[in-house]
Structure 1
Amino acid sequence: MRILIHSRIDFCFKQTVIIPKTTMTERVGFFLIFIAIGLCSDSAKWVLIDSTCFKLRDVPTKYSTAIKECKDRGVSLHSIQNRELDSLKQFFPNKWLLVSAKRTPSGFEWSDGRDCCPETWWAAGEPEQGEDCVIFHNGILYTHNCTGSWRLLCSKPADLRWRLVKCEEYNWLDLCGVEIMANCDGRSCEDVCDTHPDCDQFAKISNLCINIKNDAPLDKCIVKMRPNVEFYERIFCE
């Protein structure tokens, strides 16, 4: 196997920022920075926003059974966070989606116990008296009487894992090794990539970890990839 390696490589990154070993969700959120948005590994079913995986259930469902419908699929009827509003609007345009907020004696409350919601989230004239459930549409909340059936916005925390990619899943000519990430102190490539600020795909070549991109210009490639190299990608939703 022929490997093209640029001569100017620092094989130990003394200045690399190490991400603290906190919770998995926090680490995922750090990698995505603020609200980095992308499709998850199963792009027909999952959408990744910040550190949360979303699944749209297209079967219209009443609130009385919606929480169980999501739970039976390993997810929860979603409780919206402020930072998600614009992203949800972008990924689910013109959809009327049932969310977990419901009226209580003290006001509207999400199923996770948080109060719902700032006045700026509600449509004009909302919330209406006598309507106890909430739907989300184009970044705005509306109330309804809980007897209607709506699509469900279900979610779960992203789960950071690595997956060995099969040769046939990529055009290997498009893959570009843009950086050598040294396996300092005997760390695994998974750990090296986890603590790197810009690594979502890597390849193992001998005792080296290669940061892989599939959209890098050819003049940025320092290692040319081949199908017989072990290639891994980060997955969040499954």
Structure 2
Amino acid sequence: MSLSGSIALVTGATQGIGRATALRLAEDGAHVVCADIQPTDGTVEEIGNAGGSGESVWLDVRSADAWSKATSAVREKHGRIDHLANVAGVVNLLSEDTVVGLTEEAWQQVIDTDLKGPWLGMRAVIPGMIDTGGGRIVNISSLAALRGLPNLASYTAAKAGVAGLTRQAAYEYAKHNILINAIAPGTIDTPILADITEEMRRANADAHMIRRLGDPAEIASMAAYFFREGSFLTGLTYPVDGGWSSKGNF
């Protein structure tokens, strides 16, 4: 199924998984609204150079007012939003990320972006999707929601919340033809990993059964599947993790 003629909003579209998702949805025919707190001009330019259709919108996913303004502008211009990819996310760089070592500031920063952001996004687009007869939403969770991983307390809490919220919202809005799923990536080679050591990079790669880091385009391809195909799928949190979630402790 082509996405031709559809309107897709992708958060975190400046880099990493968000950028890859925007590029893939544009390749599949959607007009992609590239949303981020940072400029998305480079992503939009790349979409255009490849023959696709896209535009930029400023969006702080932590702000209900920003969501209202961004989605209202898109609906005023295009009449609807068919697809939402909630990709924007952060990790805790402000403190140790253990239950004991976390600071309240660090906790709030991660929860506001990684959990509150997807909630606000769904709240902003679902009423319009109901009015136009349906839509599809993909949220980005994490393998950290499925496995215990070190020094990721706030991140794990947020991403597990995304998985739970995805299930609940999928149940609530299936009757309106709105399908809502999540993806749980393994360790993906994004700019978040830019400062890690080569030893850490190898350790992250070896955690997967497919012993390498994932590529953002591989997460984007799963998002595209949920948007393009996936007509009998909702409420899932689907691991795209190189087999990590199926791996034993050896």
TM over 0.5: no
TM-score range, shorter chain: under 0.3
Q: Which has the larger Rg?
A: 1
TM-score, normalised to structure 1's length?
A: 0.23
TM-score, normalised to structure 2's length?
A: 0.22
Structure number with the higher strand fraction is 1
Which gives a bigger RCO, structure 1 or 2 (Cα 8 Å, sep 6+)? 1
